[in-house]
Amino acid sequence: MRLSGLRSAVRFCAATVTWNVAVGGAAVATAIASGSLSLIGFGVNAVVDSSVSALLVWRFRAEQAGYAARAVRWERVALRLAGAAFSVIAIYVLARAVAALAGDHRPSSSLFGVGEAVASLVVLPYLAIGKYRLSRRLKSPALRADSLLTL
């Protein structure tokens, strides 16, 4: 039972990494070209979310392989990284928003940004809910934090 949960956790976290590398990378590239605050915020969030999910892939694989002590260490690192990620994202977006308001910056939309937002509204809640449910089953606070970061 636990082994199947660990495999599912690896799949959900790996899917999050794959999604965020593809979409987050495209968002950062587009943001740099267009100067979009919202796209750069999304891209930074995707990079941070990917790093937490990648750590959790290692953590759950270590437990599957029978390295319980190593898995617990990865769990702690991932939990700390998720907490730091929330803080970094909040500070970055706040600083950019204040700068935009002070500079009387007007928001603009792009077809890419709208498409990315719609796709994210479909994909990310599915991944977040799956990770959240598994976190309860596996009793993993780091997976729970990662699910909230994904959401």
Range with top average pLDDT, 22-36, 48-62, 115-129: 115-129
Query: Is the confidence at residue 5, as pLDDT, over 70?
Result: yes
Q: Which two tokens stand for residue 95?
A: 């600083």
What residue segments make up the domains of the chain, in order of their start? 2-150
- The confidence score (pLDDT) of residue 106 equals 66
Give pTM, 2 decimals: 0.75
Concatenated DSSP letters of the chain: -HHHHHHHHHHHHHHHHHHIIIIIHHHHHHHHHHT-HHHHHHHHHHHHHHHHHHHHHHHHHHHHTT-HHHHHHHHHHHHHHHHHHHHHHHHHHHHHHHHHHHTTPPP---HHHHHHHHHHHHHHHHHHHHHHHHHHHHT-HHHHHHHHHH-
Q: Return the ∠ at Cα 23 (arms to 37 and 40), rounded to 5°.
A: 15
Please report the pLDDT score of residue 107 as a whole number. 62
Give the pLDDT mean for 116-141: 91
Q: What are phi and psi of 140, to 5 degrees?
A: -115, 105
Residues 59-115: pLDDT tens digits?
888 888 888 777 777 777 777 777 787 787 778 778 877 877 787 766 666 787 788
Which has the higher per-residue pLDDT, 106 or 15?
Answer: 15
At 93 the pLDDT is 74
Task: Using CA atoms of 44, 31, 37, 22 in order, give the dihedral in degrees to the nearest 10.
Answer: -40
Q: Is the pLDDT reported for residue 34 higher than 80?
A: no
- Kindly state the average pLDDT of the residues 52-64: 84
Mean per-residue pLDDT over the chain, rounded = 82
Residue in the structure block whose two tokens are 């790996």: 14
